[in-house]
Amino acid sequence: MYKCYHCGEVIKDPQKLERVVCPHCGFRIFYKVRQPVVRRVKAL
């Protein structure tokens, strides 16, 4: 997932875009967003 630096629009797959610009605002800088890690722990 990538997030636009200017408007905060989230893009899941940037390969689907024609150019590397935000479809919402036209800005060209994105930063990668890691999804939160879910830690599953078994109770004893």
Q: What percent of the chain has pLDDT over 70?
A: 100
Phi, psi of 42 (to 5 degrees): -80, 135
41 located within any domain: no
Q: Check pLDDT > 80 for residue 14.
A: no
Q: How far apart are CA 39 and CA 44, in angstroms?
A: 16
Q: Which residues is 4 bridged to in the sheet?
A: 30
- Other C-beta atoms within 10 Å of 21: how many? 14
Which structural domain, as residue segments, surrounds residue 7? 2-32
Count of the separate structural domains present in the chain: 1
Q: How far apart are CA 17 and CA 2, in angstroms?
A: 12
Burial 25-38 (b: 16+ CB within 10 A, else e): eeeeebeeeeeeee
22 located within any domain: yes
* pLDDT on residue 21: 86
Looking at the whole model, is its pTM more than 0.85?
no
Q: Check pLDDT > 80 for residue 41.
A: yes
20 located within any domain: yes
* pLDDT on residue 30: 86
